[in-house]
Amino acid sequence: MGIVPNDRLGKIDFYESHTTVWAAALATIGLTAPTVAALTNATTNARKAYGDHLAAQQAAKAATLAYYDKVRLMHNAPGFGADMIQTIKTFAQTTNNPNVYVLAQIPAPSVGGVTPPPGTPLDFTVGLLQNGALELKWKCNNPTGTAGTIYEVKRQIGGGAFTFIGATGIKTFTDDTIPAGSSPCTYQVTAVRSTARGNPAQFTVNFGIGGGGMVIASVMGGTGADVKMAA
């Protein structure tokens, strides 16, 4: 550990406390009066500079607060900047005159675009699982930047009406509620996002009997659907 402190204020304190002692013992500690006097003067100057530093800090703090307050007043005070800008916008809207923004040199409000509806499911793959359920998979090109799309699945047996059988948030669905002897089965898959609906896609599955029981005899693409059987 050194004799003199490392921090600036500590150095000032050290020399202030030692120059007086050294001046009183010049002959016995090997120092001279002129050198101690010069150090004493330098210490006095350092102490004064520290005081000026503190005063400048306080002045800077006060000036900063005044600066912040003046900017706040300029922008937020009643009738000033922000209120004037709002008045210009209101005037432009009530007069239905977009040139007001040009004259005021402020940007006109952006007009939000309408997000396109979800895409149409395509590239279906149909597979028959060991338990007799039908596994449906597909692709769907939805608009960039959208999220929360779900897929509504309806089924038509024979020539009956389409019946809702479920929904999924991923591009796959397992139909394990196919009644025995149902053929053909037509599926309709529609992408839905909030109140926006995409165009539905349909495909039809025909079943037959094979060596191991029920098999997929054929798959036909309908509206918007290209279909293949799973390997």
Contact (Cβ atoms closer than 8 angstroms) between residue 120 and residue 140: yes
Q: Under DSSP, is residue 206 helix (H, G, I), strand (E, B) or coil?
A: strand
- Report the Cα 228 to chain-centroid distance in Å: 39
pLDDT value of residue 207: 83
Q: State residue 67 phi and psi, 5-degree precision.
A: -60, -50
Model pTM above 0.75:
no
Both tokens of residue 7? Answer: 């921090």
- Cβ atoms 171, 177 nearer than 8 A: no
CA distance 118 to 107: 32
User: Which residue type does 151 have?
Assistant: Y
Q: Which residues contact 225 (CB under 8 A, 6 or more apart)?
A: 121, 122, 124, 201, 202, 203
Residue 189: both structure tokens together: 């898959």
- Write the burial class of residue 22 (CB in 10 Å: 0-12 exposed, 13-18 middle, 19+ buried): middle
Q: Position of tokens 């210009």?
A: 88
Question: Alpha carbon of 143 to those of 110, 181, 199: distances in Å?
Answer: 21, 39, 13
- Measured between alpha carbons, how far is 123 from 139 in angstroms, rounded to an integer? 6
Two tokens, residue 157: 């047996």
pLDDT at 154: 96
Question: Nearest Cα to 225, choosing from 140, 151, 133?
Answer: 140
What pLDDT score does 223 carry? Answer: 61
pLDDT for the residue numbered 213:
65
pLDDT (tens place) for every residue of the chain, 231 residues total: 589 999 999 999 999 999 999 999 999 999 999 999 999 999 999 999 999 999 999 999 999 999 999 999 999 999 999 999 999 999 998 998 989 999 999 998 876 667 899 999 999 999 988 888 999 999 999 998 888 999 999 999 988 899 999 999 999 999 999 888 787 899 999 999 988 999 999 999 988 776 566 788 888 887 656 677 766
Instruction: Return phi, psi of residue 129, to 5°.
Output: -80, 165
